[in-house]
């Protein structure tokens, strides 16, 4: 399996500086700054990218596990809310809340919930972020 790369360049002080983050594929190439990370500035930030990785990985893992059980997922939509916290100068990411809604023909809600929780616990990004509490709210539509 390939190793993936991303590059970040930061120039200047924490408050006045700025940087860029770019993925090897070029799919992500964004500017970031203190304002985009800790305020409401325009641009991206590490937490937003972490959220995209978490939502994407969970959705794929969920699809895999559903398919292995014989279901044909029509749609899986996942939003990840990544919290950043400053406790006396110790900045951390304590939680990620995954909110998933999915259309899965023929599945009962109890099995849906069980497979969704299994996907949350076992997707590679969730495992890599084992120090972060990752919660899941999954809704079966249709």
Give the domain ranges of the chain: 6-38, 54-141
Four-way CATH pick for 54-141: 3.30.300.20, 3.40.630.10, 3.40.50.300, 3.40.50.720 = 3.30.300.20
pLDDT band at 1 (very low <50, low <70, confident <90, very high): confident
- Residues 53-90 pLDDT 10s: 999 999 999 999 999 999 999 999 999 999 999 989 89
Buried b or exposed e, range 25-59, using 16+ CB within 10 angstroms: eeeeeeebbbebbeeeeebbbebbbbbebbbebbb
| pLDDT tens-place string over residues 6-59 | 999 999 999 999 999 999 999 999 999 999 999 999 999 999 999 999 999 999
State the burial class of residue 4 (Cβ atoms within 10 Å of its Cβ: 0-12, 13-18, 19+).
exposed
How big is the chain by its Cα radius of gyration, in Å? 17
Q: Is 99 exposed, middle or buried (0-12, 13-18, 19+ CB in 10 A)?
A: middle
Which pTM value belongs to this model?
A: 0.93
Pairing verdict, β 95-103 and 133-141 = parallel
């Amino acid at each position: 399996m390939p190793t993936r790369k991303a590059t970040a360049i930061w120039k200047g002080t924490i408050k006045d500086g700025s940087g860029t983050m770019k993925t090897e594929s070029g799919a992500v190439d964004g500017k970031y700054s203190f304002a985009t990370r800790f305020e409401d500035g325009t641009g991206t930030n590490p937490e937003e990218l972490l959220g995209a990785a978490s939502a994407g990985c969970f959705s794929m893992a969920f699809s895999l596990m559903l398919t292995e059980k014989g279901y044909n997922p029509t749609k899986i939509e996942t939003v990840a809310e990544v919290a950043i916290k400053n406790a006396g100068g110790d900045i951390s990411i304590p939680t990620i809340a995954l909110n998933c809604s999915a259309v899965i023909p023929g599945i009962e809600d109890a099995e849906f919930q069980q497979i969704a929780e299994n996907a949350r616990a076992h997707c590679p990004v969730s495992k890599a972020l084992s120090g972060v509490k990752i919660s899941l709210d999954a809704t079966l539509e249709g």
